[in-house]
A and B are shown apart, each in its own frame.
Chain A
Amino acid sequence: MWTWFFQLASPPHFYRMAGSLVPWLLWPALLLILIGSWGGLVLAPADYQQGEGYRIIYVHVPSSYLSMMVYVTMAVAAGIGLIWRIKLAHAVAASCAPVGATFTAAALITGMLWGKPMWGTYWQWEPRLTSELILLFLYFGYMSLRSAFNDLNQSDRASAVLALAGVVNVPIIHFSVVWWAGLHQGPSISKIDAPSIAFEMLWPLLVMILGFTLFFLGVLAMRVRGEVLEREFHARWAQDVLRGANRVEAAG
């Protein structure tokens, strides 16, 4: 068990393993997203209050969920990197940010498109929307802080502190609909004992969430490879990989 763990954490193994995992994550992700979209757009019945308009849920909820899940992944990885000085963890944290930022933007835009017909406005400075917008700025801040340093180690450590400080925003987003009465509706699936949504509507949503999660992991695996290679540039294995890739490209 421990040998396996240490092998996994060793950069050359991780680099190779991440590379072979990518297709096993991305193809199932594509399949699940297609099935989920079909289920959500075609098979699920219309909502008795919102008619067909509620179908935005099938892209809005998975995007919003990823926006927060990716941030937590980033903060945990940054924390591990900071405390135990593990480069691989910093590589994971750095790879999360651009992915998280794009899904936060998707959550905000799909939310606005849902808000207009249901609430009568694209935007309102209410708790859920405001805290999600702050999440987007946290991602932007994290990425610009990273790019402010020339030294990769410095940039890893400084940005890790920001990632950890910003993690308080995640529970605020999650509970904002419970703590304050805003426009945004309350949770509909996280109440595990009694979800307030019919099964025909629920399953495509769960399939979409699983598909988005696999998609994130696939993209993360691709990005982490680059980050690991960069941090391990002086290691023998990384230079072997670079030379090998060189030869392949020359031959191609």
Chain B
Amino acid sequence: MSEFLAMGGYAKYVWPAFGITAIVLVINLLAARRQLRQTRERLQLRLVRQSGRKVNI
């Protein structure tokens, strides 16, 4: 196991490379989810404001 983790002396290059890539994958998921949620919330707010104005007129 420790031999595997040592990656033949390349551990300090191989593991960060895999780590960075994993982080990029996770960031993409979270960012896409956040973008969809925020767009929905922003548009819902706009919709509420818009219909509110119509009622006042």
**What residues of chain A have their CB less than 8 Å away from a CB belonging to chain B?**
26, 33, 37, 41-42, 46, 51-53, 55-56, 58-60, 63, 98-99, 102-103, 105-106, 109-110, 113-114, 116-117, 215, 219, 222-223, 225-227, 229-230, 233, 238-239, 242-243, 245-246
10 A–B pairs (Cβ distance < 8 Å), ordered by A: A53-B10, A55-B10, A56-B14, A98-B31, A99-B32, A117-B10, A222-B36, A223-B36, A229-B39, A239-B47
A53 and B18 CA atoms in complex are apart in Å by: 12
Verify B18–A46 contact, CB threshold 8 A: no
* A51 contact from B10, B17, B21, B28, Cβ within 8 A: B10
Q: Which residue of A lies closest to B29 (CB)?
A: A219
| A52-B7 CB under 8 A given contacts A59-B17, A245-B44 | yes
Which residues of chain B are near A99, meaning CB under 8 Å? 28, 32
Q: Which residues does chain B contribute within 8 Å of A245, judged by CB atoms?
A: 40, 44
Q: State whether A113 touches B16 (Cβ < 8 A).
A: yes
Cβ of B20 within 8 Å of any chain A Cβ, yes or no, is: yes
Task: Report A-chain residues with C-beta under 8 Å of the C-beta of B32.
Answer: 99, 219, 222-223
Nearest A residue to B39 by beta-carbon distance?
A226
Complex interface: chain A residues within 8 A of B33 (CB): 222
Q: Which residues of B contact A (CB under 8 A)?
A: 4, 7-10, 13-14, 16-18, 20-21, 24-25, 27-29, 31-33, 35-36, 38-40, 43-44, 46-47
CA distance A223 to B17 in the complex (A): 26
In the complex, the chain A residue whose C-beta lies closest to that of B27 is: A102
By secondary structure, the B interface counts as helix
Q: How far is the CB of A206 from chain B (nearest CB, A)?
A: 17
**From DSSP, what is the main secondary structure of chain A's interface residues?**
helix
CA distance A175 to B17 in the complex (A): 24
The minimal Cβ–Cβ distance linking A105 to chain B, given in whole angstroms, is: 7
Q: How far is the CB of A31 from chain B (nearest CB, A)?
A: 13
Task: Compute how far the CA of A243 lies from the CA of B44 in the bound complex, rounded to whole angstroms.
Answer: 7
Residues of B within 8 Å of A114, CB to CB, are: 13, 17
Q: Does the CB pair A233–B17 fall under 8 Å?
A: no
Residues in chain B near residue A222, CB distance under 8 A: 32-33, 35-36
Closest CB in chain B relative to A11 CB, distance in Å = 14
Kindly state the separation between the CA atoms of A2 and B18 in the bound complex, as whole angstroms. 44
Indicate if the CB atoms of B24 and A246 lie closer than 8 Å: no
Known A-B contacts A53-B8, A99-B28, A215-B25; A242 and B14 likewise in contact (beta carbons under 8 Å): no
Please, which residues of chain B bring their CB within 8 A of the CB of A230? 39, 43
Contacts of B29 in A (CB 8 A): 26, 219
Q: Return the chain A residue nearest B7 by Cβ.
A: A52
